Amino acid sequence: MNKNKLRTVFLSSGLVLGAVMAAFSVVQESNLSNYDWAAKIEDRSIPMEKYLTQLDGLATDKRSPITQTDKEYVLERMIEEELLIKRAIDLGMLDNNPIARGTIVQQMIKTIIAENARYEVSNNELQSFFNNNIGFFTKSSRLRVQQIYFSDQEFSNQSLIEANKAYEMLLNGISFDTVSELGSESALKIPNSLMTLSKVREYIGPSLMNQARNLEAGSFTEPSKVSGGYKIIFLIEKELANPPQFSLIRDNVLAEYRKRRDDNSLREYLDNLKNWYDISRNLPE
Instruction: Report pLDDT digits (tens) over 249-265.
Output: 999 999 999 999 999 99
Given a contact cutoff of 8 angstroms between Cβ atoms, the answer to whether 138 and 242 are in contact is: yes
Judging by beta carbons within 10 Å of its beta carbon (0-12, 13-18, 19+), is residue 274 exposed, middle or buried? exposed
Per-residue pLDDT for 284 more than 70?
no
User: Rounded to an integer, what distance in angstroms lies between the CA atom of residue 35 and that of residue 22?
Assistant: 22
* Sign, Cα dihedral of 228, 98, 207, 192: negative
Q: Report pLDDT for 23.
A: 41
Boundaries of every domain in the chain: 3-114, 119-128+244-276, 139-240
What tens digit of pLDDT does each residue of 166-180 get? 999 999 999 999 999
pLDDT of residue 285: 59
User: For position 66, what pLDDT does the model report?
Assistant: 85
State the fold for domain 139-240.
Chitinase A; domain 3 (3.10.50)
Nearest-angstrom CA–CA distance, 133 and 137: 7
b/e burial code for range 207-244 (CB count within 10 A of at least 16 → b): ebbebbbebeeeebbebbebeebbbbbbbbebeeeeee
Mean pLDDT along residues 236-254: 90
* 137-153 pLDDT tens trace: 877 789 999 999 999 98
**pLDDT at residue 127, rounded to an integer:** 94
Average pLDDT (234-252) is 90
The larger pLDDT score, comparing residue 34 to residue 77, is at 77
Contacts 24+ apart (CB under 8 A), 152-157: 152/228, 152/229, 153/186, 153/228, 153/229, 154/184, 154/186, 154/229, 155/184, 155/229
pLDDT tens readout for residues 178-232: 999 999 988 889 999 999 888 998 999 988 988 998 899 999 999 999 988 999 9
Asked whether residue 18 carries a pLDDT value surpassing 50, the answer given is no
Using an 8 Å Cβ cutoff, are 175 and 252 in contact?
Answer: no
Give helix 48-61 / helix 68-90 axis angle, nearest 10°.
Answer: 130
pLDDT at 21: 47
Query: Of the candidates 180, 204, 173, which has an alpha carbon nearest to the alpha carbon of residue 190?
Result: 204
Query: Is 27 in contact with 46 (CB distance < 8 Å)?
Result: yes
If 0-12 CB within 10 Å is exposed, 13-18 middle and 19+ buried, where does residue 277 land?
A: exposed
Considering the chain, what is the average pLDDT of its residues? 84
DSSP 191-209: PSS-EEHHHHHHHHHHHHH
More confident residue, 184 or 24: 184
Q: Give the pLDDT confidence of 89-137 residue by residue, as tens digits.
A: 888 888 888 888 888 899 999 999 988 888 889 999 999 999 988 877 8
